[in-house]
Copies of this chain bind each other. A is one copy, B any other.
Amino acid sequence: MRIIVATCSAEYTGRLTAHLPKAKRVLLIKGDSSVLIFSELGSYKPLNWMAPPCVLNERWFDVSRKNGDKQGGAVAILKAHATKSSDRLVVRLYEIDSDESYDLGIDPGLMKDGVEDQLQHYLSEQIERIGPGARLVRREYPTPIGPVDILAVDGNGVTTAIEIKRHGDIDGVEQLTRYVTLLDRDERLSPVRGIFAAQTITPQARTLAIDRGFKCLILDYEDMKNQGDTDLTLF
């Protein structure tokens, strides 16, 4: 990891063309030669960057011989170009405040806890939450328009598509609608009903879901987790 603090300007061409006027900024150059340019404000997204995989070219100019003017006063130019596309980032450095390198080594990486995955995991284990006698067909049931979160058969033997969200909004209902409409055309599965399951459901989504004939199911994460743990103690 190389960290440069410098007055710089930059040009990016690729999916779009963008220009960064001269100003003092922080440049991070990672071990894979990717480049990030940060300013004092904004969230974690850099002002401009080059993503890996890329190749970095660096050229320094001898300003004392006054040929620096040829570069518009630039002391150095960094050119990064993507190896898999035609993306290019050209950074001109004018005044260097700092230029240090560190070897960070390999990072053990981030460990995450509980997300939608967990909800899906627990609900597929506790499928009777959608009604007594229900049986799981499979998680991530594949269709031509994407996988259904859970496909099950309810107590009456009716095929049931379940869409799971942490927070259920209109888009989720649309998604479920697409799946149910498509699956319902399969005569081996038809009729297919839908269940919209989420920790929270917006009123609009609930209205739309019910209007489309779907059942809404509120998922209590803590409760599901506890039952999951309880199930384990049975062994």
Smallest CB gap from A36: residue in B: B44
A232 to B115, CA, bound (A): 53
Count of this chain's copies in the oligomeric assembly: 2
Question: Which of A46-54, A55-63, A130-138, A223-231 contacts the other chain?
Answer: A46-54
Please give the distance in Å from A104's CB to the nearest CB on chain B. Answer: 5
Interface assignment of A45: CB less than 8 Å from any CB of chain B: yes
| Given contacts A44-B36, A44-B49, A115-B16, A102 and B30 within 8 Å (CB-CB) | no
Please indicate the chain B residues that have their CB under 8 angstroms from the CB of A43 in the complex: 34, 49, 51-52
Contact B146 A110 (CB under 8 A): no
Complex contacts, A20 vs chain B, CB 8 Å: 108-111
A195 to chain B minimum Cβ distance, whole angstroms, is 20
- Return the CB mask of A78-99 against B: 1 if under 8 Å, else 0: 0000000000000000000110
List chain B residues, Cβ under 8 A from A97. Answer: 102
B residues in contact with A189, CB < 8 Å: none
A21-29, A67-75, A153-161: which lies at the interface:
A21-29
**A220 interfacial contact with B, CB 8 Å:** no
Question: Is the C-beta of A140 less than 8 angstroms from some C-beta in chain B?
Answer: no
Q: A234 interface residue, CB < 8 Å from B? A: no
Interface of A toward B, CB cutoff 8 Å? 1, 3, 5, 15-21, 23-26, 28, 30-32, 34, 36, 38-49, 51-52, 97-98, 100, 102, 104-115, 144-146, 166, 170-171, 174, 178, 203-204, 207-208
Q: A1-B26, A20-B111 are in contact. List 15 more A-B contacts (CB 8 A).
A: A5-B102, A15-B115, A23-B108, A24-B102, A25-B104, A26-B104, A28-B38, A31-B41, A32-B40, A44-B49, A47-B109, A97-B102, A98-B102, A145-B208, A171-B171
Query: Which 8 interchain pairs have the tightest Cβ spacing?
Result: A39-B107, A31-B40, A17-B113, A21-B108, A40-B104, A19-B111, A43-B51, A24-B104
